[in-house]
Amino acid sequence: MAVLLTNGKHYIAHSSTGAVIKVSDRKDAQDFRTAERAVRQKQKAPGKCAGFYCMDTGMEETEPGARKAAAAKRKKFSAKDRLAVYRKTEGHCYLCGEFVDFDSFEVEYHMPISKGGTNGLDNLYCSCATCNAIKRDIYPKEFMEKISQIFLYQMQKKYGDSLDWKVAYRLLEAMLDRKREG
Ligand SMILES: [Zn+2]
């Protein structure tokens, strides 16, 4: 996870001499670590940072500009496109498995556009409205962690006193930790 300044195309970085520069490769971008520090950078170099907004790579964008920029890149899908996406999972939501009518399914970006995902068929999936609303534009991995966290928390609230549940809970938690490390 990193907090970057981007205009959707370039990133703010620091040169070896400490000067504020623009780079096009995300891996060269300066990680400001907190939104506060990123905003301070913008205030220090308003000219060079004009049009740049703060982006938390692990979460949703901290400024609305990023969402707008991503929305602009999203494609309007033709009926043919939609059918191709729908057929990939034969009408089942790729996140929860539920069957969705062709008229009501939503095209889900597996890797969000705001995180570098494309409009290509390999990045698009059939989703039910609920899952689409929950996932929004977070990373697939973080979505899985979030729903696992909700599940674990709700189960703990409900079955917290049961010994069996406590064992299962610890196992699941260990699994998640391993996934996070890997
Ligand atoms: Zn679903």
- For 8-16, which contacts have Cβ atoms below 8 Å and span 24 or more sequence positions? 8/66, 8/69, 8/70, 10/52, 12/41, 12/48, 12/49, 12/52
Q: From ligand 1's centre to the CA of 132, what distance in Å?
A: 7
pLDDT at residue 47 greater than cutoff 80: yes
**Per-residue pLDDT tens over the stretch 116-166:** 889 999 999 999 999 999 888 888 888 888 888 888 787 777 777 666 777
Spatial contact of 123 and 117, defined as CB atoms under 8 Å apart: yes
Mean pLDDT over the full length of the chain:
83
Q: Cα(95) to centroid of ligand 1, in Å?
A: 5
Residue 93 CA, ligand 1 centroid: distance in Å: 5
The CA distance from 157 to 134, in Å, is 21
